[in-house]
Amino acid sequence: MSYGTIGKPDHVRRAAIMGDYGRARREFSWTHARLELSGLPGGTGLNIAHEAVDRHAAHPARRGRTAVRFLDRDGTVHELTYGELARRSNRFANALGTLGVRPGERVFTLLGARPELYVVAFGTLKARAVLAPLFSAFGPEPVRCRLELGEAAVLVTTPALYRRTVAPIRDALPRLRHVLVVGPPGEDGCSLDALLDAAGPEYRIGPTDPQDPALLHFTSGTTGTPKGAVHVHEAVVAHHATARAALDLRPDDVYWCTADPGWVTGTSYGIVAPLVVGATLVADAREFDVRRWYRVLDEQRVTVWYTAPTALRMFMAAGPEEARRHDLSALRLIASVGEPLNGEVVVWADAVLGRPVHDTWWQTETGAIMIANFAGSDIRPGSMGRPVPGIGAGLLEQGPDGRAVVAPDGRVKVLHGEAEGELALRAGWPSMFRGYLDAPERYAECFADGWYLTGDIARRDRDGWYWFVGRADDVIKSAGHLIGPFEVESTLMRHPAVAEAGVIGVPDPAAGEIVKAFVTLRAGAEPSVELRRELLAFVRRELGAVAPKSVEFAPALPHTRSGKVMRRLLRARELGLPEGDLSTLENAAALTAGSP
């Protein structure tokens, strides 16, 4: 269904940072975008922490402004000014030196939203160590796996997360040298507070090459272990430029990004971008709740809100009355990312919240927003928008596996005009990932003929707007969280009753997709309601929030002749869709549901 176009009145267009899309695209250059940042004093390079914190702290008029406004569980508000954040992150940088952490080593966080997060993040970047944030709702297994793959030198966490998630795996991580726990000295790990108190508040950032690694984000593919996408300090140029162009973000904004800091959105746009711009960011310690979120928007006078389709759909489900109880007049822009945003939500928000939703598209690998509906441009509800200035997007002809066809000479076929194909981006923007940790061949496979291949399928209309069609692989997006089926299957197969598992995403009206597992049992194990309950509890304990919501017993799973579980077929059968090309199927009779 089409929702037409939501036009922007002239005064909105004129007031936006980027009022004229065509002109901005023509005139944009990354060299110029870089010049809007300061660079390290004395021309010694480019460091994210300097751009986000120190350069504002050095400015008498900006030093006292609130950088972080943190809303605690008990209702207390903690504020950190740019000046305080500069000094505290200096202390953490000094503390890392005392601990013997060297540039390039990795500092992981498992923190959720807390004031210490910003101190640790920028202190790490100042010390030129690499920041690797983890999702706090992960169970012990995904955390162990990522700490090991990332060769973590330091982990910073909370007492509760230490007990729940870290303690069970601590002995399995001999290379993890330091576990720092926020708060005063306790039984577990080393006290972060004590360490900060003992460290000096002055720090000079060492020379930082813009190509030095800065951030490490794990993302999931269809097969194999999670992939560690490496980003460099130069990414800050894209964080800054896109925060302005796509989010219309300015120094006087009160900005709220609702993504968990453990996902790329929660770092690029939850920590870095708003502070580079010099805005005040709001962070909330509590879980999602429609009523409270309305209160935060209202009471904090949020002007720019970056959230996810799942949250917006829950706002919509809660009805318009709740919206009427709140004053959202401060809100200038609502933007969304992470999963398909249905046009209905955009139109609903326009009518009920008084502002439409601006969809944006990007990935862990792209590091920053690539495609967007802009503040100063019309919106096509249901469309992801148009490429941001400085980004060349294209569609490539697909082969039978859904991915772009790469000819033997390495060339791809670029589609023109109205088309559908694999979405690709011209390689070379500043926040493009520079590698997958220890997996150069996996990295190389992402590129062809000067293009980065996204693995998403998209359609372009005749005016150049992009529409999301689907993913070319089996990766699941649930409530905006990217979940690799392989990681879930491997965990299920560690249960003694499970012989094999196949994991898919099934549509869900709120979360977009939810994770569903099919399992075959080992000889001696029988399907039962108790066993299903036990399996659900097992995966929940091991994986945390990314665990499947349902488990179904199957007598057999469909395989390709090369032995891989055909998730595509599991999904087609589950949803009653056409089964497609079955030429690679090895055991066509497989899978008749056998659940009690």
What does the binding site for ligand 6R9 look like in residue numbers (CB under 6 A)?
219, 263-265, 337-341, 359-364, 384, 454, 456, 468, 471, 477, 482
Positive or negative, the CA dihedral 77, 49, 148, 189 is negative
Q: Which is nearer to ligand 6R9, 57 or 396 (CB)?
A: 396
Q: From the CB of residue 309, how many other CB atoms can be counted at a distance below 10 Å?
A: 24
CB of 343 to ligand 6R9, least distance (A): 12
Q: Which is nearer to ligand 6R9, 195 or 345 (CB)?
A: 345
Q: Which is nearer to ligand 6R9, 54 or 359 (CB)?
A: 359
d(CA 441, CA 447): 10
Q: Which is nearer to ligand 6R9, 158 or 267 (CB)?
A: 267
Q: From the CB of residue 250, how many other CB atoms can be counted at a distance below 10 Å?
A: 16
CB of 458 to ligand 6R9, least distance (A): 9
Kindly state the tokens that stand for 486. 């392989």
> CA-based diameter of the chain, in Å?
73
CB of 442 to ligand 6R9, least distance (A): 15
d(CA 514, CA 114): 28
CB of 372 to ligand 6R9, least distance (A): 9
Quote the distance between the C-alpha of residue 116 and its chain's center.
20
Helix (H, G, I), strand (E, B) or coil at 511: coil
CB of 480 to ligand 6R9, least distance (A): 6
Q: Which is nearer to ligand 6R9, 234 or 339 (CB)?
A: 339
Query: 337 CB contacts (<8 Å, ≥6 apart)?
Result: 259, 265, 306, 308, 359, 360, 361, 362, 369, 480
Helix (H, G, I), strand (E, B) or coil at 471: strand
Q: Which is nearer to ligand 6R9, 136 or 360 (CB)?
A: 360
Positive or negative, the CA dihedral 207, 61, 91, 144 is negative
Q: Which is nearer to ligand 6R9, 109 or 431 (CB)?
A: 431
CB of 468 to ligand 6R9, least distance (A): 4
d(CA 50, CA 153): 23
d(CA 402, CA 457): 8
Q: Which is nearer to ligand 6R9, 250 or 471 (CB)?
A: 471
In degrees rounded to 5, what are phi and psi of residue 302? -65, 135
Positive or negative, the CA dihedral 134, 512, 431, 428 is positive
CB of 348 to ligand 6R9, least distance (A): 17
d(CA 416, CA 33): 29
Q: Which is nearer to ligand 6R9, 270 or 558 (CB)?
A: 270
CB of 495 to ligand 6R9, least distance (A): 27
CB of 339 to ligand 6R9, least distance (A): 5
CB of 454 to ligand 6R9, least distance (A): 6
CB of 524 to ligand 6R9, least distance (A): 39
d(CA 50, CA 204): 10
Q: From the CB of residue 212, how many other CB atoms can be counted at a distance below 10 Å?
A: 19
Q: Which is nearer to ligand 6R9, 57 or 215 (CB)?
A: 215
DSSP state of 96: H
Q: Which is nearer to ligand 6R9, 358 or 495 (CB)?
A: 358
d(CA 485, CA 495): 16
d(CA 539, CA 135): 16
d(CA 47, CA 244): 19
Q: Which residue is nearest to ligand 6R9 (CB)?
A: 364
